[in-house]
Amino acid sequence: MISLNSKIYLAGHNGLVGSAILRKLKEKGYKKILTLNRKKLDLKNQTKVLSFLKKNKPDFIIIAAAKVGGIYSNNKFKAEFIYENLTIQNNLIHSAYLSGVKNLIFLGSSCVYPRNCKQPIKEEYLLSGLLEPTNDAYAIAKIAGIKMCQSYNEQYKTNYICLMPTNTFGPNDNYHPLNSHFLPSLIRKIDLIKRKKNKYLNLWGNGKAKRELIYVDDLADACLYFMKKKTKHHLINIGTGKDYSINYFAKKILNILIPDRKIIIKYDKSKPNGTPRKVLNIALAKKYGWKAKSNFKNSIIETYNSFKNK
């Protein structure tokens, strides 16, 4: 049973999700949190990962470490995305087993589901169709992680839970012009408009693609919630169960951050839309007693303030 004195190793504590999990662990009073940056522990080196876990013997591992990016980088650097993600998760999951760690959370992504999936997406739809081609390398790596956890659970009786979050945003996000996801990219562009007093917001695609968003603090809360659960299911969707168009989000966030100005949205239809629609069925998470609680407007304001202070 996980307690406040349990030793928890958090891999990827400097990223968007990892930093939120670390904040939440500290806030809840967990006293033995293990974190190492990539200079001190290269997660692509299996020998070092295994040595670290055998020496420290954590009671629980949370894998928030991954190579992530938006449409551009996922499509352009597929080799790096599939290699790095496979290597990191293989090393951590297998070394966890070899070190006797029975409890683990592996964080994936909703992009593991087929591009033209029936909506809302149930966990059982995994591997039922073709993936979105712009991020298939990343998705295949994550799918391999899911199947690896499932296989170890079945063969070695481990409790390795795979949480599949929808599009996540919040403080400490990546705002790179080419490598970011749509929400941080949107915030960066709106900030530029706000500072330079431009009147146009230029976005990729036609704005009709629909997305579901979850605030990173809700995802961190889900990790801590399921960390203390023994579940019958190895794969659980984490989201809000509601999706809206890119156009809707653009107008909504403009109204929150620049309420007193008229901004014209222009779409570059030569650029890809990505997956046409992606909303998760979260009935299973609700069945276990978890649901998202954050207010969207407050979450956007907190995210924007964090962006300004970067």
Residues 105-149: tens digit of each pLDDT: 999 999 999 999 999 999 999 999 999 999 999 999 999 999 999
CA 306 from chain centre, in angstroms, equals 18
Dump pLDDT digits (tens) for 37-49: 999 999 999 999 9
Residue keyed to tokens 């597929």 = 78
pLDDT for 310 equals 75
Residue keyed to tokens 């962006």 = 307
Which residues are annotated as catalytic? 138
Structure tokens that stand for 89 in this block: 């998760």
Q: Above 80 in pLDDT, residue 212? A: yes
Residue-range domain boundaries for the chain: 7-173+212-243+278-294
Helix (H, G, I), strand (E, B) or coil at 245: strand
C-alpha–C-alpha distance, residues 83 and 81, integer Å: 6
162: part of which helix (H) or strand (E)?
strand 159-165
Q: Above 90 in pLDDT, residue 196? A: no
Between 182 and 290, name the one with better pLDDT. 290
DSSP 37-103: -TTT--TT-HHHHHHHHHHH--SEEEE-------HHHHHH-HHHHHHHHHHHHHHHHHHHHHTT--E
pLDDT for 274 equals 77
Sign of CA dihedral 34, 175, 161, 97: negative
CATH of domain 7-173+212-243+278-294: 3.40.50.720
CB 185 within 8 A of CB 258: no
C-alpha–C-alpha distance, residues 145 and 143, integer Å: 5
Q: Residue 184 — pLDDT band, cuts 50, 70, 90?
A: very high
Structure tokens that stand for 176 in this block: 């790179």
